[in-house]
Amino acid sequence: MTELNVLGVLLAGGLARRMGGGDKGLSVLGARPMMDHIIERARPQVSKLILNANGDSDRFAEYGFEVVPDVIEGSAGPLAGVLTGLEWAAANAPDCQWLATFTVDAPFVPMDLVERLALAVQSDGADLACAKSNGRTHPVFGLWPVRLAGELRRAMIDEDMRKIDRWTARYKLIEVDFSCDPFDPFFNVNAPEHLAEAERLLNSEKRGAA
């Protein structure tokens, strides 16, 4: 599943208010844009990777990705990014039956995220899967069947659905637990002080790999 028919989407449609606005993914971490780190980890896990972002796509031109804005207007949150990815896959990647979602503010996402989510769905007969660590669920790191695109659109339009966990509660969801040793791989940068912590974690990771 992971090698043949999984589309990956980087969710970058947020407003980043706590970071003072702008693009969190373009914040510098380890002398490179933070987004570079997540791309290195996400790209090998999927057959194709696209970017969900609003506004002028030229600011991401150097990456060469298809940049797809939210299909639901009004800053509808990460669930809008999920729907955007599902509908893009249905229209442009008919071989991709699954969508894997990542966020651009979590630079340490596991390299085996998609593989483990896919195996869990297959072994448990679940509809979809998401990551979990340190007792917390991370629904934005999920594996979603493209066949649910229409149902999600109806929920968002007709019911004003905005919370991921409210929508996934309608289906058989399996949560896959990831180790926090040596640190939580889903650590995300939501504020300037988190960026400094991410720098520390990156340096410790490099020392551990040396």
CA 45 – CA 167 distance, rounded (Å): 25
CA 147 – CA 164 distance, rounded (Å): 17
Write down the H helix ranges in the chain.
34-42, 78-92, 113-124, 149-158, 164-168, 192-209
Spatial CB neighbours of 128, under 8 Å, sequence gap ≥ 6: 121, 142, 143, 144, 145, 148, 168, 171, 172, 173, 174
| Helix, strand or coil, per DSSP, at residue 129 | strand
Q: Which of 140, 136, 133 is nearest to 182 (CA)?
A: 133
Which whole number is the average pLDDT over 2-14? Answer: 79
Give bridge partners of residue 61 from the DSSP assignment. Answer: none
Q: What is the CATH number of the domain that holds 84?
A: 3.90.550.10
Give the tokens for residue 65: 């990705």
* 184 domain residue, yes or no: yes
Give bridge partners of residue 128 from the DSSP assignment. Answer: 173
* 58 domain residue, yes or no: yes
- Number of compact structural domains in the chain: 1
**Where in the sequence is the domain holding 162, given as residue range(s)?**
6-209
Which residue type occupies 138?
A: H
Which whole number is the average pLDDT over 112-138? Answer: 97
Q: Provide the sign of the torsion angle of the four alpha carbons 163, 117, 4, 188, taken in this order.
A: positive
Q: Could you read off the pLDDT of 135-175 as tens digits, one per residue?
A: 999 999 999 999 999 999 999 999 999 999 999 999 999 99
Q: Could you read off the pLDDT of 11-69 as tens digits, one per residue?
A: 997 554 444 456 889 999 999 999 999 999 999 999 999 999 999 999 999 999 999 99
Lowest model confidence (mean pLDDT) among 13-27, 62-76, 81-95, 110-124: 13-27
Q: Which of 121, 134, 137, 102 is nearest to 171 (CA)?
A: 121
Q: What is the structure's pLDDT at 22?
A: 63
* 1 domain residue, yes or no: no
Q: Is a pLDDT exceeding 70 seen at residue 3?
A: no
